[in-house]
Each structure stands twice: as C-alpha cells, then as structure tokens.
Homo-oligomer: A and B are copies of this chain.
C-alpha cells in the first residue's frame, strides 16, 4: 500500500514534517480543483477547497488501498456532498488511485470516468451521491452492516452544512443513535455558505444542537483547515476516545468556502461557479503556481478516455432458496411473504453469519416480519416512521454482501421514497423492496394509503425487477427468487386474504413444483375467445369472471403476469393474436400493466382488440370488494368489459 501520506494514529499529533507535507499536498490539490472546474466550465470549486485539508488528513488516517480500491477491509468514505468531486478526485489522485491527467482531461466529459458528482466508476469512491440529505443514511447502512457482521471497519461521512436542512438527516441521526453505531464518524463542513446565501439567511440551523439532541457525540473544531487540529479531533473520534463511546460522533468543523484563494473566500458564488481563465491565473499565482490551463484545454480536445472507469464488484452472498411452501387454504400474500422470509432466514442466517437482513418502519406485524425478527434479531432493524432513511440505509446495507429486505405499505415503500430508491437504483444495490399493502385492496384506510402507482413508479428505474404475485403460493416462490437473485427487486401485493389460484384440475396452480421465472407469464387458462391479463389482488375476481364467461359459453384464456419487469412480450403478442385482450389491475389505469401491454401492441404494429381496466379515480374508504365494484374491477365488471369488446 503506497499512500501519499500515512499518518500514525498512535501519535497524538502530527509532526512538523507531516504538516509541511500536507501543506504541499493542499497546494497541488488546490491547483487541480481550480483547473478541473475551469476546464469543464462548470463544477463546484468552493466547497472542494473548504473540505480539502480534512480530506487529505482523513485519507492519511483511514484503512484503504489505492492499488485495490475494492479491498474488503477498507474503511468507507461516503461523500454526502457529492458535488465536491473536484476535491475528492484531487485527493484520490494524490493518493495514487489514478493519474492527475486522467482526472483533468476527463472531468465532466460525457463517457469519461470523472463525473460532476462523485460516482463509483471513480476508483476510491464508494457511492454515487449528489441529492443532498441521503448520504448519512447511506453511511449508517454501511456502519450497520459492519456491526451486524462483527467487522471492525469505520465509516466516515462528509456532509455540508446547508445540507443539514434536509429532514432525512434527522431520521438518520436518530437511527444511528438507537443502534449505537459508534463505528460512524460524520464530518460537517461548516462553512456557512450555500448556493443562494449564508445558511443563516437561507434557513438557520443549529447543527451541533440537532446532533446533540439525537444523542451523538459532538466535537467542535474551530478551524477545519488546521491539519494538526483536525488530526487530533478525527483521531479521537476514530479511536472512540469520546464521551459516549457507544455512540456515533459528529465533528462540526468550521471552515471557509473557497479557502486559500483570497477573492473566493466566503462567497456563495463559488459554490457552483468555476473561475475564468484570468481569475485562474490570479488564483494560481496566489498559491504560488503557474497557470497551465491551455495545455490541459488542448489535451481535452482528444476523444474522451472511457477506459479509466472501475466496475464496482458487488459480492452477492450465496443464498439458499429453502423449501417452497404450498398453501391450499385462504390466506394473504403478506403471510406467505413472512413465512418465506422466515424460511430464508432459517436456511441462510446460520451460526451468527447473517446473510439476510430485514427492515420495517413501525409496521412489523402488518408486514409479517415477526417470525424473521424472532429468528434473526441481530439482522432485523426497526427504523421507526422514517421511511426516507430506511430506504436509503437498506440499500447501503445490501452493498455489503447482505440481502436486505425492506417492507412497509405501498405508499411508503414506493411513493414516499421514490427518489431514495432511484439513487439506490443508480448505485446498483441488492435491495429487495416488498410492499405488503398495495392498491385499493388496502381498503378502509382510504386514498392516502392506497398505493396505485407501484408499476407506474418502479418502471422509471432501469435496474429494478418488478414482481407482482397472484396468490400466496406464487408469493412464496417470488420471494425466494428475489432473495437468491442479485440486484434490486420490487415485490408488490395486496392486503386481503384470498383463495389460491387453481389449475383446471383443482390443484394449486402455483404450488408444488411451480417455478417462478422472471420475464415469463403464466397461462393459467387457455381459451380461444380472448384473454384476460392480470396480476395481484384482482386475480380472484379475474378467475371468477373466467368462470362466468365460461358458463356463458365463452372460453377465454387467463394470462397472469407476476413478472412485469422484465415482461413476457411473446406471451402478450400471443394473446393479441388469439383475440380480444383485456388487462385488469388494481393500479392506475394509465400507468400499469395496461400501459405495458399497449406499448408492446403498438411497438409491434399490431391492430388489437384491446381494453384496459384499472383504477380511474382515487379510491374511497371502504371494503376492498366495494371499492373494486365501484371501479368495475369485480368479476361482473370484468365480464362486462370483456363482452363489450366482442
């Protein structure tokens, strides 16, 4: 391990040589920060200069390996302030993760390995950040995973002070306190400047007060540019030499935005604006360096080097899917989920080695995580009514060789945390979001609790598979598949108890040896008169409509699509070729399965006899059967709609 500067934490302060070396490194990095942003004509020099000294010392103290950025034994650094990428890349270059040339020629160019906000394609970066307020939850997730696995690594999270305004941070603070994550160190870059003014002008915050009221250790650092003082403070936090040694620590480091360039200091303008070439010359002169902008500008004329990117290797634990359970009596999908999760825990969380984690938000009973909790108490995390934090945290846990299940109602697991899940999707996590209460089937709790947008939302990601089982048997098999399969998965289900889908011979269609295959629809009935395509909680109504139509002499097919992303295009085309197609779903009529089928029809230039049934207005508060009837989703409504197509 060849680090630019390895600082010994046994020493209580830096040597004068180390201090001098750090000052020299600051000079080199200042140049890189200013050059990179001016070359790109965009970016964030101010905050980069404000965190620079602390970052240099941090990388001198922590366990990391520039030759192997994926080394499992490393400490994790999460940059919640993803926009200070010029500072981060400068320091990583200084530590030998990549060359200065790669950084300066690639910064903010499409296809290069050096994007505007830090991303994992840069060697040494742990997490793609940029949307403020989520980074602490990410760091908490990593720290929680280390605790769960009994690992010694630390997690260091750099945050801004303007960022402290985001409410999600308050959630993360509380969680870290509850779970005693003393392996977590937060450094708040307290420069008092945000985009439109000072933090006092924009939205005043008592940073230390907020952390303190949430039970954290708070260390004050008067000057975040004094490398020796920062070392002394950081060292205490790192070694756990703090008042409450079982609690996380926040260092409030007072710094100067634009530090080191006199005309930039304390100006909010330089949060997000680079220097002109003239200003750059003046600034570099002040630092004692020449301006070689032109040389680099010329180098940037060459095509982008796309080869510097690292492919983050996510280790996925080997998961035993366990023995499927077949139900033959009425039950709810969420109980089947709870049983499957328990069975997965029995098969995989063995001898203290926890491979599967579970998170809920004050709904353990409703989402049926009780048996899992009881079996694997050290792998179950109750996050309170803090869904934003829980979603971000869970995804981060899942990057640390853990399969993480997150369960709550559809409106909270999908609608409320859409943007948290989006960032997790960008980060290619192994997160399993299971929403147990979707659709009008939520019933009496009314429209604020009826999530009718789970497909409409999840389809905007690129890396989430979306599964919607038709009954408890299929739920069991879908959950086992989701657990064993790397990557993000969403599973949605209704709330009510339901009958099993039966094959024509009266046996459970999805029981026994049925194998759930992503991207494959299930023809549970075939028929020449047309096809009903559906999934989820309306399935019993669809099966009843099938029976009613058959009784009237209409032999229709029933195609159940538990896998919506990826979807079985061939089966849909087959259905269209057979005759009229009616989609039925407990979902907004314009954004769910109906829209997916419509797109496949149009993409293939087919002239179809086609109709979509779904939710056409916000539901009322009442029994699901009444709500379905009111929107034509009962068996009578389904039969009627189908016959209208003939």
A interface list, Cβ under 8 A from B: 40, 42-43, 82-83, 108-112, 114-117, 119, 128-133, 162-163, 165-171, 174-175, 177-178, 194-196, 202-206, 209-210, 213-215, 362-366, 382-386, 388-389, 411-412, 415-416, 418-419, 422-423, 426, 443-449, 452-453, 456-457, 459-460, 462, 588, 590-591, 594-595, 597-599, 601-603, 605-612, 617-618, 620-623, 626-627, 630
A163 cross-chain contacts in B, Cβ below 8 A = 385
With contact pairs A426-B447, A623-B110 given, residues A167 and B166 touching in the complex (Cβ less than 8 Å): yes
27 pairs from A and B in contact (CB 8 Å cutoff): A40-B444, A43-B444, A109-B622, A110-B626, A110-B630, A115-B620, A117-B446, A128-B447, A131-B416, A131-B448, A131-B449, A163-B385, A167-B169, A167-B170, A170-B170, A170-B210, A203-B382, A426-B448, A452-B460, A456-B457, A590-B599, A598-B601, A598-B602, A599-B599, A603-B610, A605-B607, A605-B609
Q: How far is the CB of A453 from chain B (nearest CB, A)?
A: 4
With contact pairs A607-B606, A610-B605 given, residues A386 and B595 touching in the complex (Cβ less than 8 Å): no
Flag if B195 contacts A178 (CB, 8 Å). no
- The copy count of this chain in the complex is 2
A82 cross-chain contacts in B, Cβ below 8 A = 448
Q: Which residue of B lies closest to A427 (CB)?
A: B448
Flag if B132 contacts A385 (CB, 8 Å). yes
Flag if A449 contacts B203 (CB, 8 Å). no
Bound CA–CA A630/B339 (angstroms)? 46
With contact pairs A130-B448, A457-B418, A626-B109 given, residues A166 and B171 touching in the complex (Cβ less than 8 Å): yes
Bound CA–CA A612/B599 (angstroms)? 10
Of B165, B174, B178, B597, which is within 8 A of A384 by CB? B165
Given A82-B448, A178-B203, A595-B598, 18 further pairs, Cβ under 8 A: A109-B622, A112-B620, A112-B622, A114-B621, A116-B445, A170-B170, A174-B205, A194-B362, A195-B365, A202-B385, A203-B384, A204-B215, A415-B418, A418-B457, A457-B457, A590-B599, A597-B602, A605-B609
Bound CA–CA A137/B215 (angstroms)? 26
Q: Which residue of B lies closest to A210 (CB)?
A: B213
Q: How far is the CB of A395 from chain B (nearest CB, A)?
A: 14
Flag if B606 contacts A595 (CB, 8 Å). no
Q: Which residue of B lies closest to A425 (CB)?
A: B618
Of B418, B446, B447, which is within 8 A of A419 by CB? B418
Of B110, B209, B385, B422, which is within 8 A of A627 by CB? B110
Flag if A362 contacts B195 (CB, 8 Å). yes
A601 cross-chain contacts in B, Cβ below 8 A = 598, 601-602
Q: How far is the CB of A590 from chain B (nearest CB, A)?
A: 6
Bound CA–CA A610/B601 (angstroms)? 10
Q: Which residue of B lies closest to A162 (CB)?
A: B385
A411 cross-chain contacts in B, Cβ below 8 A = 131, 419, 422
Bound CA–CA A341/B110 (angstroms)? 34
Bound CA–CA A40/B622 (angstroms)? 9
Flag if B607 contacts A108 (CB, 8 Å). no
Q: How far is the CB of A370 from chain B (nearest CB, A)?
A: 10
Bound CA–CA A116/B411 (angstroms)? 16
A205 cross-chain contacts in B, Cβ below 8 A = 174
Q: How far is the CB of A136 from chain B (nearest CB, A)?
A: 11
Flag if A388 contacts B40 (CB, 8 Å). no
A456 cross-chain contacts in B, Cβ below 8 A = 456-457, 459-460, 591
A108 cross-chain contacts in B, Cβ below 8 A = 444, 621-622
Bound CA–CA A607/B610 (angstroms)? 12
A214 cross-chain contacts in B, Cβ below 8 A = 206
